[in-house]
Structure 1
Amino acid sequence: MLLNAMPEHLRSRLADYAKLLRLDRPIGSLLLLWPTYWALWLASDGFPGIGNLIIFTVGVFLMRAAGCAINDFADRDVDRHVKRTRDRPLTSGRIAAWEAVALFLGLALVAFLMVVLFTNPLTLYLSFGGVVLAFIYPFMKRYTHLPQLFLGAAFSWAIPMAWAAEANELTQLTWLLFTANVLWTVAYDTFYAMVDRDDDLRIGVKSTAILFGDADLAIIGFLQGLVVVILIMVGNQADLGIIYNLGVLAMAGLFIYQQYLACLREREGCFRAFLNNNWAGFAVFAGLVVDRLLQ
């Protein structure tokens, strides 16, 4: 009702901001959320504090939106040459470049203040690394064929932050989980990069999809296998039981399904494989939560 009462130009403006921040496409937030929850539940050895659960849930959505804003700022000249992105608000000129930067800074500041006010010094120190990674990732595709690795670090940085907020320390288990998530992110974002590979080759943008070439599916499968192995190691070290391992097994099954979806390397199949990773992350989370509840 409120939106309908607004002038048309204001409704259109808000819609463009929503598209810039990908509020209509929550998949990125969900892929960031599940590993954050893994860390919270493992660090708490049961159920995390309600305060930390709220802070990191809200923080995930804020930082993902901030990352989308700075990503579109970095890609504003590149996106017009890519079929999937040429109509984005920043690329088409409906939103100015300075507005995207202001949104990034504003959202990151809100997330930072939540950490300052409601967590501990260790989490605060770690938060600086998270902001740096979120800012530099979008520019990496110009300098390296491994931008997905930087995305993996950015998407995984919530793990040590959440762990520190809950346990006020970092352990070997923290970094095992971090490593698993970096590898998983490289794998699923390579599926995503395969969607745009033809356009990226034409305009000179770098990605793991281009670097891996014809070995793309084999390398993704290898990375996915490593993720499963490391998550099993995490479960063993955390004294998790069969329910958790069933969740990891479900993730492995979904990885096999993703290979099937992308086997022809067609845009739609690769994109569906990417989207399917939401269920892979949820499977591990569900197994972890149920396992903890039954202990």
Structure 2
Amino acid sequence: MAETDKTPEAEGTVSDAVAGNWVDTQAPEWTRPYLRLSRADRPIGTWLLYIPCLWGVLLAANATGWTRFDLWIILGCGLGAWLMRGAGCTWNDITDRDFDGQVERTKSRPIPSGQVTVKQAAAWMAIQAALAFIILLTFGKTAILLGIASLVLVVIYPFAKRFTFWPQVFLGLAFNWGALVAWAAHTGEIGVPSLLLYAGGIAWTLFYDTIYAHQDKDDDALVGIKSTARLFGEETPKFLRLFQMATVLLLTAGVVMGLLSSDSIVRTLAAIAGVWALGWHMAWQMVRLDIDNPDVCLKLFRANRDAGLIPAVGLVLALLL
């Protein structure tokens, strides 16, 4: 076969991964199918799962004081996000293997392309989940219980697109759970500020994952997969603006509630500025949005790593002040 005729399935790569990523070029060959199951070649999902954890622990530290244990919460949540995102994506690929084989963007994934069997994928999922659970055990009782409870959302999410046009809500519920876990790891309880962060994160997920879903809307319609992209259609920008406003308002409320006891207006304003800068970034995405251009949708989706880190920077500045 000529080089120009090679397909992602033939090469073992995944079509929507960044070209030349470390999995395809540096990882030992036998590990590549498993790392692809975990989306290690597409790290944006890990960031989007990790960022709400950062919001939770940093706001908690601002509210009650920074401790050395917070460094471990930040590191542990990062490792846990990588592992649980990998486990969740592996579970998603197991449940969606028949659908994935019918969608152009996903037919090169490891299971439909024959790189791994379902049994091998299930074993890999169990290993990742077990390692994540070991990390969770260091976070305290409330955080442990919250972490275990999140498994319900992880299990349900892959099926949501089969029975509702709002699977992005289920993704938001699962992906932002870390805000509650990280807050609880620091404080030992669930607080109103963490619930507001959680709600704001769900609105943010509705924003970025609706953009993401526009890549597959034609194939999704053919195979019967539901999404907010299909539901909103040409009215998508109107709904994205609503999600943008909800994100900013809810996160601002969470920051204000978390810093009520702060005696420094400057610290509070620094944290709020980070949230509002996220809102400006989302507005920037809206200006560039083209729901009929999959490449643009993917680029904007990936831009939400930087968008989500902006409030975290604001919270770090508040701590330093």
TM-score by length of 1: 0.92
Displacement of 1:215 in angstroms is: 1.3
Partner residue in 2 for 1:113: 134
Taking the TM superposition and a 5 Å limit, the aligned residue runs for 1:176-187 are: 176-187=196-207
Q: Which runs of 5+ in 1 are unaligned?
A: 1-9
Of 275, 295, 307, the residue aligned with 1:248 is 275
Partner residue in 1 for 2:66: 47
Say how many residue pairs are matched.
284
- The range that moved more, 79-88 or 237-246, is 237-246
Partner residue in 1 for 2:116: 95
Report runs of 4+ in structure 1 exceeding 6 Å deviation: none
Partner residue in 2 for 1:263: 290
- The range that moved more, 258-267 or 85-94, is 258-267
In structure 2, how many angstroms separate the alpha carbons of the residues matched to 1:261 and 1:96? Answer: 40
1:274 and 2:274 equivalent?
A: no
Partner residue in 1 for 2:39: 22
For the Cα contact (< 8 Å) 2:211–2:291, is it kept in 1? Answer: no
In structure 1, how many angstroms separate the alpha carbons of the residues matched to 2:122 and 2:186? Answer: 31
For the Cα contact (< 8 Å) 1:160–1:174, is it kept in 2? Answer: yes
- Secondary structure in structure 1 of the residue aligned to 2:101: helix
Displacement of 1:84 in angstroms is: 1.0
- Taking a change above 3 Å as real, the CA distance of residues 287 and 251 of structure 1, as seen in their structure-2 partners, is same
Question: Which amino acid in the other structure matches residue 237 of structure 1?
Answer: M
Of 49, 54, 57, the residue aligned with 2:78 is 57
Displacement of 1:246 in angstroms is: 2.3
In structure 2, how many angstroms separate the alpha carbons of the residues matched to 1:161 and 1:235? Answer: 17
Partner residue in 2 for 1:131: 151
Root-mean-square deviation (CA), in Å?
A: 1.6
In structure 1, how many angstroms separate the alpha carbons of the residues matched to 2:110 and 2:168? Answer: 24
TM-score by length of 2: 0.85
Partner residue in 1 for 2:88: 67
Deviations 1:53-74 (A, max 9, x none): 2221111111011111111111
In structure 2, how many angstroms separate the alpha carbons of the residues matched to 1:105 and 1:153? Answer: 22
For the Cα contact (< 8 Å) 2:192–2:254, is it kept in 1? Answer: no
Of 159, 167, 171, the residue aligned with 1:151 is 171
1:172 and 2:192 equivalent?
A: yes
For the Cα contact (< 8 Å) 1:261–1:270, is it kept in 2? Answer: no
Partner residue in 2 for 1:85: 106
In structure 2, how many angstroms separate the alpha carbons of the residues matched to 1:253 and 1:122? Answer: 35
Deviations 1:184-213 (A, max 9, x none): 111111111011111101111011111112
More helix by share: 1
- Taking a change above 3 Å as real, the CA distance of residues 26 and 238 of structure 1, as seen in their structure-2 partners, is same
For the Cα contact (< 8 Å) 2:273–2:314, is it kept in 1? Answer: yes
Partner residue in 2 for 1:6: none
Q: Which runs of 5+ in 2 are unaligned?
A: 1-26, 260-266
For the Cα contact (< 8 Å) 2:60–2:186, is it kept in 1? Answer: yes
For the Cα contact (< 8 Å) 1:137–1:151, is it kept in 2? Answer: yes
For the Cα contact (< 8 Å) 2:193–2:255, is it kept in 1? Answer: no
In structure 2, how many angstroms separate the alpha carbons of the residues matched to 1:51 and 1:259? Answer: 36
In structure 2, how many angstroms separate the alpha carbons of the residues matched to 1:265 and 1:222? Answer: 20
